[in-house]
Amino acid sequence: MMSGLIAPSLSVFLQCEAKATSSNTAAWLSFASTLIWQVLIIYCLLSYRTALYELFQRLSKLKVAGVEGEFQPQSIDAKPLPSNASVEIKNIGPDGFFTIDGVRQLVIGSGLLQSDEHVTETLLLFRTAKQRTWLISTTKSMICILDDAKTRKSGRLIQWRQPITDIKDVRARVGRESGAPVLDIGRAKGWLYSTALHPDPQELEEKIRSLIPAGTS
C-alpha cells in the first residue's frame, strides 16, 4: 500500500521537476538570445562607428523645405563697410536679407572699386533661413558677400575680394570634415554652396567661370 502511495507522489514530483527544468531552460534561452543580440549590436556599432557618425552628420543636415542646415562662418579677411556707407531700407527684402540690387549697392558703396571698375554680374551661392552668400563680379575683381544678422550688425558683409587675374581655379567638392558641398575659388577655399540652388557641381563651376571676363583669367 505504501508503494502505491509513493509511486503517484514520485510521478507528480518528476512532472513538476520536468516543468521547472523546462521553464528554466526557456528562461535561459531567452536570456541568451537577448544577450547575443546585444553583443551583436555593440559589435556593429563599434565596427561601423565612423560610417554611422558620417551618416548622422548627413542626417542632421537634411534640407527642410529646400533650405539647408549648414552655417557659413565669416572670413578673417572680412571688410567693414566705410563709416559713411548708408544702407537704404529699399535694399532689404521682406525676408530681412539684402536684395540683389542691395548687394550690388553694397559693393558700389564699399570704396573697394577703382574709378574705372563697375559691377557686372551677381550670383546667389548659398541660401538658408539665416544666411545668404553672394558672388559679385566686376570688370576687375570678384567679391564675396555674406549676409546674416551678425555681418549686418558689424558691417562686415564683404568677406573677400580677389583680382580676376588671380583666379586660376574654380572647383566644387565635398568638404572633408563637414561632408557639405563647398567651393574653392582661387585662394578662397571651402565656401558653402546650396545644392537646392546649384544641383550640378560642374554647371556651378562653369557659371562662376563665366563671371570672369574672357581673356583675363
Question: pLDDT of 114-150, one tens digit each?
Answer: 999 999 999 999 999 999 999 999 999 999 999 999 9
Residue 82: which residues within 8 A CB-CB, separation 6 or more?
109, 110, 111
Compute the CA torsion angle 28, 34, 39, 45 (nearest 10 deg). 180
Residue 175 lies in a domain: yes
Q: What is the mean pLDDT of the chain?
A: 79
Task: State how many domains the chain has.
Answer: 2
CATH number for the domain harbouring residue 158: 2.30.29
Domain of 22 in residue numbering reads as: 2-47
How big is the chain, counted in residues? Answer: 217
Which of 74-78, 100-104, 138-142, 157-161 bottoms out in mean pLDDT, i.e. has the lowest? 74-78
Domain-embedded: residue 101: yes
Phi-psi category of residue 195: left, alpha or beta, with phi > 0 → left and psi -120 to 50 → alpha: alpha
Shared domain for 116 and 43, answered yes or no, is no
**Distance separating alpha carbons of residues 120 and 134, to the nearest angstrom:** 13
**Same-domain status, 121 and 206:** yes
Give domain status of residue 75, yes or no. no
Residue 58 has pLDDT above 70, yes or no: no
Is 70 part of a structural domain of the chain?
A: no
Same domain, 105 and 18: no
Q: Is the dihedral of CA 161, 81, 198, 91 positive or negative?
A: negative
Spatial CA neighbour of 205 closest among 215, 191, 79, 131: 191
The answer for residues whose C-beta is within 8 angstroms of residue 111's C-beta and 6 or more apart is 82, 85
Global pTM? 0.63
Same domain, 113 and 179: yes
